[in-house]
Structure 1
């Protein structure tokens, strides 16, 4: 792999569009250096390698990357940031992946590219103000100051307003790249969205994901094919399913709810087990991150020295550790919700497969490995309206979790509704 855009799986049209915009940005940077322009626009017919009239090539200061989970929103934004900073002498090679700028951007160590990732359930206004202030300076080593905001739908209203102010009057050398899920782009204010150029990514095909797992990750072709077929178009999830036994176990527990919900003796026990397993998985992920962060913070504050009086941190630094612990706790909550939400998506997809069977549609199943054991039998005895009620129960549970309802209560209610819907058909 050489060019950074090779990392975008199944997004060829998007890669061409971003590559053309990066060429326009390079030309604009040269004009800014010469004091010839104060706006982020270059006519298409002046960009090398771009046909006249191809409006997609124009550069702008704010972008919104949307797409379903796993489509590669943040990857696309990072690749574009690398192309903006790329030092390849030939514009045709922009985003070369080999120069120092490309390498450091992709490694997330470039001094002029900031990645903003909400650690908790939202991104506060104070953090956004600090980011905006830093991004308003002239770039130190690159052509642009680039700010990548992942999960921009988690911006609080005040944080979004702080970002909107600088997007409406952008510094000449700053580019904002926002990432948000396509299923809920309305979570970003209409005014902020209207100031951004929209890049809509699509779900990669099973064949694209399988090829990545085999060629890039070196996985066994059979395992890669299975993971690609059940991941729901999410490349990262396919990789975890293929390599992590815990991820496979979590999926099995989620799908087993469909059968357990039909019996009172197993329904709530299965629901409790799903919540517990999601919590355990989240704690394991968070603990790994927390340990490294805490040790880094303690070292930065002066702990661990070998001389006299240096083994302990200086006085007055305990507050910094408490603030870190607060952020870590918030992040752990978010990770737990995300893990559980992924399980619910799997469960909704299983009911969808059963619904497809019940109406006789010829559609590729989301869980092909469960067709014989769960989805086909369920689709044969349950009416479509009952399966739709099950899907709605799962989606309502996801919405309840998004509104901070305790996971146990939300999942218990979901299981009760699923059991009622399916048992009504069984008793009929």
Structure 2
């Protein structure tokens, strides 16, 4: 039965399986509205928020919905209508008073953060609030974190900072910043709300929606890709065939190269067209390709700007590849977890119910100790990649252990 206090329309429908979060954010929006109107002294707006939760739980989606509701122009009813100009432009990323920072490389630099702090000091141009949304706040460098801390300590009037991170652990978000933020903790969405979202929002049939929701590990974005992209489904199947496909030692090198190549292909599918479009747009903006006086200097300046853009694009491609490879490693870890569950006789839900036959075969051939060693090898590979070990080297070391056990 639907909760009458949790709206299922407008921007709030974007938040999947988090009724408690929606209630808290909606209450904050209403208090902020009263504060703006001067009708209440007790509803002062919290100027810094920290959205945490496991990957795929919808941290940045919740933050965007909150930002849209804060700017909502609809009179009466529930804030965050999703239909007014403010709601639509915030969700589209084009609202003049909402700045979204999504790191395209491996980190957010201090220079980028200083520029952001300067922009945040201005009063709202068209909306009620100036909102700064920082996705992946755990990627802030030390210098960027210090720059952000200064403005969070003394926030400008009518400016709201929304930070998103996997957790509030000091390794993700420094204690000095965390202590000045109001926490919003998201949990892993359940299978039923994810399946319902796929059916209603993406028009996925019941069987495919239920399957994608059951194998996505609570990752909403992954569920959508699996439900709508046949290539994503094939990549997942190829990855989960690895544990039972390592029959000979030579299979180690074949599987390693295929796994790395698959992650590169996945990262490059959307990257190439985007990169070329960005370069062409920059050349046009810099006056390249024109004729007449000053053409040579314009072309020279454009070429220098393109080279700088290419560096950023290369960093973005590296991050995309590592994210794709990390997702594959999470799938592998889930397989070995399923084997341990089966060997222990636990009734816990498996990560990959559609690979129950492979899990049963592995369960009859491997000991719990060798399965745990394999699982630890996958987790160690993830840590090695986070420390900038070359992907092929890290993956070959991992799959060697998967072969030997």
**TM-score surpassing 0.5?**
yes
- 1:84 is matched with 70
Root-mean-square deviation (CA, aligned residues, Å) is 2.0
Aligned-partner Cα distance in 2 for 1:12–1:302? 51
Note the alpha carbon deviations across 1:227-256, whole angstroms, 9 max, x for none.
Answer: 111111111111111222221222122212
Secondary structure of the corresponding residue to residue 301 of structure 2: coil
Asked if the contact 2:287–2:302 (Cα under 8 Å) also holds between the matched residues in 1, the reply is no
- 2:15 is matched with 8
Structure 1 residues 310, 9: closer, same or farther in 2, change over 3 A?
A: farther
1:193 aligns with 2:164: no
Structure 1 residues 342, 352: closer, same or farther in 2, change over 3 A?
A: same
User: Which structure 2 residue ranges, 5 or more long, are not aligned?
Assistant: 1-7
User: Which structure 1 residue ranges, 5 or more long, are not aligned?
Assistant: 35-40, 45-57, 422-428
Secondary structure of the corresponding residue to residue 316 of structure 1: helix
Asked if the contact 1:281–1:339 (Cα under 8 Å) also holds between the matched residues in 2, the reply is yes
2:227 alignment partner, one of 242, 261, 278: 242
Aligned-partner Cα distance in 2 for 1:10–1:396? 31
Cα displacement (A) at 1:308 = 5.5
- 2:46 is matched with 60
> Which runs of 4 or more aligned residues in structure 1 lie more than 6 Å from their structure 2 counterparts after TM superposition?
309-312
- 1:225 is matched with 210
Aligned-partner Cα distance in 1 for 2:295–2:244? 57
1:26 alignment partner, one of 33, 41, 47: 33
1:359 aligns with 2:358: no
1:297 alignment partner, one of 279, 282, 285: 282
Structure 1 residues 67, 207: closer, same or farther in 2, change over 3 A?
A: same
Structure 1 residues 353, 296: closer, same or farther in 2, change over 3 A?
A: same
1:402 alignment partner, one of 386, 390, 398: 386
1:325-336 matches, within 5 Å, as: 325-336=310-321
Q: Return the TM-score normalized by structure 2.
A: 0.93
Aligned-partner Cα distance in 1 for 2:106–2:233? 26
1:387 alignment partner, one of 361, 367, 371: 371
Aligned-partner Cα distance in 2 for 1:291–1:212? 34
Aligned-partner Cα distance in 1 for 2:361–2:177? 47
Structure 1 stretch displaced more, 252-261 or 130-139: 252-261
- 1:102 is matched with 87
Cα displacement (A) at 1:400 = 0.3
1:93 alignment partner, one of 69, 74, 78: 78
Cα displacement (A) at 1:339 = 0.3
- 2:145 is matched with 160
Secondary structure of the corresponding residue to residue 49 of structure 2: strand
- 1:143 is matched with 128
Note the alpha carbon deviations across 1:29-56, whole angstroms, 9 max, x for none.
Answer: 233xx9xxxxxx9526xxxxxxxxxxxx
Structure 1 residues 211, 76: closer, same or farther in 2, change over 3 A?
A: same
- May I ask how many residue pairs the two structures share in their alignment? 397
- 1:420 is matched with 404
Secondary structure of the corresponding residue to residue 198 of structure 2: helix
